[in-house]
Copies of this chain bind each other. A is one copy, B any other.
Amino acid sequence: MADLERVLKRIDEDLDQSLDRLFSLLRIPSISADPTFKADCRRAAEWCAATLSEVGFEASVRDTQGHPMVVGHYTGAGEGAPHVLFYGHYDVQPVDPLDLWETSPFEPSLAEVEGEKRIVGRGSADDKGQLMTFVEAARAWFAETGGLPVNVTVLFEGEEESSSPSMIPFLTANAKELTRDVALVCDTNMWNRKTPAIATMLRGLVYDEVIIQAASRDLHSGLYGSAARNPIHVLTRILADLRDENGHIKIPDFYEGVPELSDEQKASWDRLGFDQAEFLGGVGLSVPAGERDRSVLEQIWSRPTLEVNGIVGGYIGEGAKTVIPAKASAKVSFRLVGEQDPDKIRAAFRAFVTARAPEDCKVTFLSHGGDRAVSQPTDSDFVQKTRKALSDEWNTEAALIAMGGSIPIVTQFKRHLGMDSVLVGFGLDDDRIHSPNEKYNLSSFHGGTRSWARILGELGAGKNLA
């Protein structure tokens, strides 16, 4: 039996144990955005390093100013073989609203829903489940052949869900160790349950928080109503003013650097047969929001967006309180495309808000990070070989798609290490990442592990990748 076949057979036979290992990782509440879970983030890093070591890598936990990195190395494929960097993240999103979870977020389970098996729990899809597809594929190669077909450096971070403040310093300080022929990034979706995909366009992100302070303290609405400025009124009016009646964003020069789709791209996307009614209907909606003159697929893949991700002010408990709050705040994020400049967008947003605040209100902003959009070359040998491996595993041509979500690491690899990325992931649109009841299909986990086994084999098959 050829190496690859033995590796795939082992993956199939070992599936239950693979799941047990994934569940161990899912049980660690490594919420990076919340300082309460700092020790849990470290625990997750240590678990990852120990697991990589057990599999066959030389691995270690590497301290940063924030949550630690995990780095692993395998160089046994020799100097002639390609050397790839695999990236994933072990941190997860916060779990609120907790009351909407049907199971406890950090007590993972395997559920059978509508005839398919699902791994349920925070991080199952984003990104622990995905990360483990690669680790389990490597485990099978090591176990069957004593090594991997290519040289591999592994980089797991613990701050992906909280703007990766330590990533650039870490990349810069360890550029020699981390700069490889290409990065393999596993944090994206399949096109659908049967069709694997390589994401070649990724939007950027600007995340900002605005806090409007009016009076020096909370006021009684019966004593001060109307006459005293209510910061909720100020904030809601400004937020409402950000968009016109056609859904276009009114911030001056916002659309600078936004490219139109080429006819070829348009045609290629049309062939995917995207069903917008099904897409919206799947989450209980029927009326497309956003720009009226753009299709839903354009909006989620190639158009910039503005979303208010959170708003709070005044009394939010049960019942009634007749208060005029002293302050109100909102979290606002933008997805960027093409050449849109995150710094310019942030500055223009802040100017837009500040210009509309009354002079006796104090406006404060907090930056929660940002990065440019990025496009990856689709004609490299790495992409072509990856596409072949995926197509072999899933018995259908892998799609080359755009992604609406921002994956800043791809920009950072390009900018700081000069390294391109190949984005392959096995998530599905209904995985509920960042939401209650996050899940990862067993078919994603199993097929993803098999896919990485094939990709490693394919990349190692030729020596002259470029």
Q: Which residues of A contact B (CB under 8 A)?
A: 33-35, 93-94, 96-97, 100, 161-163, 189, 203, 205, 207, 209, 214-230, 232-233, 235-237, 239-241, 243, 247, 276, 279-280, 283-291, 296, 299-300, 303, 305-325, 328, 330-331, 333, 335, 358-360, 368-369, 403-406, 429, 432-437
Distance to closest chain B CB from A245 (angstroms): 10
Q: Which of B236, B289, B369 contacts A230 (CB 8 A)?
A: B289
| A217 adjacent to B436 (CB under 8 Å) | yes
In the assembled complex, the Cα of A295 lies from the Cα of B317 at a distance in Å of 33
The residues of B that contact A335 with a CB separation of less than 8 Å are: 221-222, 225
Residue of B nearest to A433 (CB): B220
Complex CA distance for A237 and B305, rounded to whole angstroms: 17
How many Å lie between the Cα of A384 and that of B260 in the bound state?
78
Identify which of B203, B311, B360 contacts A286 (C-beta below 8 A).
B360
A284 touches B360 (CB 8 A): yes
In the assembled complex, how far is the CB of residue A349 from the closest CB belonging to chain B, in whole angstroms?
Answer: 15
Give the residue of B239, B283, B286, B313 whose beta carbon is less than 8 angstroms from that of A219: B283
Please state if A311 and B312 are interface contacts (CB–CB under 8 Å).
yes
Within 8 Å CB of A93, what residues of B?
321
Q: A94 CB to closest chain B CB, in angstroms?
A: 6
Contacts of A163 in B (CB 8 A): 319-320
Q: How far is the CA of A358 from the CA of B292 in the complex (A)?
A: 14
Alpha-carbon gap, A307 to B228, bound state (A): 10
Question: CA A335 – CA B290 in complex, angstroms?
Answer: 36
Residue contact A323 to B404, C-beta cutoff 8 Å: no
Most buried by B among A203, A209, A360, A433: A360
Residue numbers in B under 8 Å from A437 (CB-CB)? 217
Residue of B nearest to A189 (CB): B223
Which single residue of chain B is at the shortest CB-CB distance from A249? Answer: B226
Total copies of the chain: 2
**In the docked arrangement, what's the CA distance between A207 and B315, Å?**
13
Most buried by B among A235, A236, A291: A236
18 A-B pairs within 8 Å (CB atoms) are namely: A214-B285, A217-B435, A223-B433, A225-B307, A226-B299, A226-B307, A227-B279, A228-B285, A232-B310, A233-B308, A237-B240, A289-B358, A309-B325, A310-B313, A310-B316, A311-B314, A319-B368, A322-B434
- Name the CB-closest residue of B to A220: B434
Report B-chain residues with C-beta under 8 Å of the C-beta of A97.
218
Residues of B within 8 A of A285 (CB): 214-215, 228-229, 360
| CB contact between A305 and one of B207, B209, B225, B283 (< 8 Å): that residue | B225
Q: Ordered nearest first, which 4 A-B pairs have the shortest CB separation?
A: A222-B405, A226-B290, A216-B284, A310-B314
CA distance A369 to B241 in the complex (A): 32
Is the CB–CB distance between B289 and A228 below 8 Å? yes
Closest residue on chain B to residue A335 by CB atoms: B225
Q: Bound complex: CA of A432 vs CA of B220, how far in Å?
A: 8
Q: Which of A214, A322, A369 has the most CB of B within 10 A?
A: A322
**Which of A209, A216, A280, A320 has the most chain B CB within a 10 Å cutoff?**
A320
Q: Are A283 and B434 in contact (CB under 8 A)?
A: no
- The answer to whether B434 and A35 have CB atoms under 8 Å apart is no
The complex places the Cα of A154 from the Cα of B299 at a distance, in Å, of 65
A423 to B221, CA, bound (A): 19
Pick from B33, B228, B323: contact of A435, CB below 8 A.
Answer: B323
* Of A235, A316, A437, most B-chain CB atoms within 10 Å: A316
Contact residues in B for A316 (Cβ distance below 8 Å): 310-312, 331
Across the interface, name the chain B residue whose C-beta is closest to A362.
B284
C-alpha spacing A120/B214, complex, angstroms = 24
Choose among B228, B312, B324 the residue that contacts A309 (Cβ–Cβ < 8 A).
Answer: B324
Q: Which residue of B lies closest to A243 (CB)?
A: B233
**In the assembled complex, how far is the CB of residue A303 from the closest CB belonging to chain B, in whole angstroms?**
6
**Shortest CB distance A336–B (Å):** 11
B320 near A207: Cβ-Cβ < 8 Å? yes
Which B residue's beta carbon lies closest to that of A247? B226
Whole-angstrom distance between the Cβ of A208 and the nearest chain B Cβ: 9
